[in-house]
Amino acid sequence: MGRAVFMRNGLYERWLLEMWNGDFGLAHDLVTDGFVGHWPGMEVHGPGELIEALKQGHAPFGDVAVTLDVGPIAAGDLVAARWTFSGDYRGRRVAFSGHDILRAEGDRFAEYWVMSDVKGLEAQLG
């Protein structure tokens, strides 16, 4: 495994397993100042907006756990993976999965695309 691939895999693991599990301040270390995150219907720019998006995404849930299901798989400056987000919502445990693709610049992520099972989550939330 090349050094760049190893570095990107480690960067992604910090992204998912640390930052998405609640250490939101890591955004300042993991993404570039010019970072752009692409969610369906929403874009965020820079680490500050990413932190706000993370806080909003976690707000309705208690006891959040984000796990890595497949990957990360790195090729060139891109990293891809599949994950599961679970949390408590009004007394019930809910979960949904999704896929990430991130583009790295040096030792940070510069761009992010996510696809997730929003319909499955909505069905669980009622």
Asked whether the CA dihedral 73, 80, 108, 22 is positive or negative, the reply is negative
pLDDT at residue 63 greater than cutoff 60:
yes
- More confidently predicted of 46 and 7: 46
pTM over 0.85: yes
Query: CATH second-level architecture of 3-125?
Result: Roll (3.10)
Long-range Cβ pairs for the range 3-7 (8 Å, 24+): 4/74, 5/74, 5/75, 7/107
| 6 confidence band (pLDDT: 50, 70, 90) | very low
Task: Give residue-wise pLDDT tens across range 72-124.
Answer: 998 889 999 999 999 999 999 999 999 999 999 988 999 999 998 788 787 87
pLDDT band at 1 (very low <50, low <70, confident <90, very high): very low
